[in-house]
Amino acid sequence: MQQKHFDVVIVGAGITGTALFYELAAFSDIKKVAILEKYEGVATLNSNGKGNSQTIHFGDIETNYTLQKAQKVSKIANMPVKYALKYGYNEKFMFSHQKMTLGVGEDEVCKLKDRYEIFKQTYPYLELYGKDELKQIEPNVVFDERGNERKEDIIAIGTTKGQYTTMDFGAMSDSLVKNAKDLGGDGFELYLNCNVQEIKKIGDTFYLKTSDNQSISASYVVVDAGAHSLYLAHKMGYGLELSTLPVAGSFYFTKKRLLNGKVYMVQNDKLPFAALHGDPDILMDGCTRFGPTALMIPKLERYRGLSSFFDFFSTLRLDTSMFKILKDLLSQDDIRNYMLRNFLFEIPLLNKKEFVKDAKKIIPSLKESDIYYAHGFGGVRPQVINHNTCKLELGEGKIKTDDGIIFNMTPSPGATSCFENARCDLVGICDFLGKTFDEEKFKAEFID
């Protein structure tokens, strides 16, 4: 087979990889780019609408964000919104719902009141809702199964109109590939069912071994393969001080629509996991979806059999420092109890009974018979562990090199940051290859 050489090869056609594919076509003079996807379609794993919370994270209702982080995130979050509006995707795979963070009990109410005063200048559309307002906006968060007002003091901060909140990032990934190919022409190619098994650098050229025996080489490689990014990095000798703990998130559905918009809970500062939330699922006719749970699993991918089981142990790099890290994590009461409780959410017969106890904090009238386990929904987020520091590294997981290759493991805050992450990679690619990044055009599309 004839060798096919590209300026840039992207490994993985999830939202991160497809955003870079689009930006290379739209904002650079690079002419030959390939994106290689191991499965039969674009965004079949974590970027799929079933694999994540479908949330555009602006930092306004995420209580684990400081003001500084929220201000940074709000600028980044506008990028996918601007993209969708440019191409007319609003109300196709981007939607506007109301959204809020709900505080339950005296401590959370005080925390949200303080947060509102700090954040309202950055987010002037935020409003403070008491019980009376919530009866009109989200009545099911107020009343119990007998129709009585819940006894706890509650308050919420949020907005009811004018903000895009929800995105099917799988559909967005498909659109990015289509638009990139339209902009870039024949030089921009998508390869499906093309699993990259190994990457070798000989001289200045990278050679990629694939499952379908394609003969592909590149001057620059970006690995956007989620948890498998570290697997491929280790094979090349990069990031050997890092491991990943794959954390799977599951969801539960209600049999009818119980919430009008996104309702997030106040984050526990001692936990490195997202707080429970409920919202209308755009793939399930607006039925309410609760989650995510958090369960460590011995696989890099979910719902794909045991194919990534051995890859997991390869990236785990089990040694004394790893045991120390796990011991330290499990010695913290909040984390240990949280992990054990989330394990119960996966056990048939017990799972619904236990999960509804937590979900009742959002909807006090909720009963076990109202919910069911969302089979086939939920993705895997690789939690990166640093053996040198013996710590869990929260936020973005990335390995930069000066050798013409980048490995992206975990975007932060999730798919929302896809265009900003792609921009950072694009700048490095253009510098390395001596190509041009049209920053003014980028700003005109995403920032101005």
**Could you give the percent of the chain with pLDDT greater than 90?**
89
Q: How does the average pLDDT of the chain come out, rounded?
A: 95
pLDDT of 1 reads: 65
Q: What is the pLDDT of residue 322?
A: 87
**Neighbouring C-beta atoms of residue 323, cutoff 10 Å:** 10
Confidence band, pLDDT 50/70/90 cuts, at residue 273: confident
Query: Which three-class secondary structure string do you get for 128-197?
Result: EECHHHHHHHCHHHCECCCCCECCCCEEEEEECCCCEEEECHHHHHHHHHHHHHHHHHHHEEEECCCCEE
Q: Write the pLDDT tens digit of every residue in 321-355.
A: 888 888 998 899 999 999 999 999 999 999 999 99
CA distance 233 to 155: 46
Average of per-residue pLDDT across 273-301: 94
Tens of pLDDT, residues 144-172: 999 999 999 999 999 998 899 999 999 99
> In this structure, are 220 and 256 located in the same domain?
no
Helix (H, G, I), strand (E, B) or coil at 106: helix
In a shared domain, residues 256 and 339: yes
Of 363, 387, 411, the residue that ends a domain is 387
Which phi and psi (to 5°) does residue 179 adopt? -70, -35
Tell me: do 252 and 372 sit in the same domain.
yes
Q: What is the pLDDT of residue 297?
A: 94
CATH code, domain with 7:
3.50.50.60
Q: How, if at all, do strands 4-11 and 216-223 pair?
A: parallel
Expressed as residue numbers, the domain containing 301 is 242-261+268-387
Read off φ and ψ for residue 419, nearest 5 degrees.
-75, -35
Together in a domain, 280 and 344:
yes
Q: Which of 387, 420, 435 is the last residue of a domain?
A: 387
Whether residues 178 and 216 share a domain: the answer is yes
pTM, two decimal places: 0.96
The residue among 343, 368, 387 that closes a domain is 387
Reported as a single tens digit per residue, the pLDDT across 181-200 is 999 999 999 999 999 999 99
Domain total in the chain: 2
The answer to whether residue 68 sits within a structural domain is no
Same-domain status, 435 and 411:
yes
Q: Angle, to 10 degrees, between the axis of helix 67-86 and the axis of helix 106-119?
A: 70
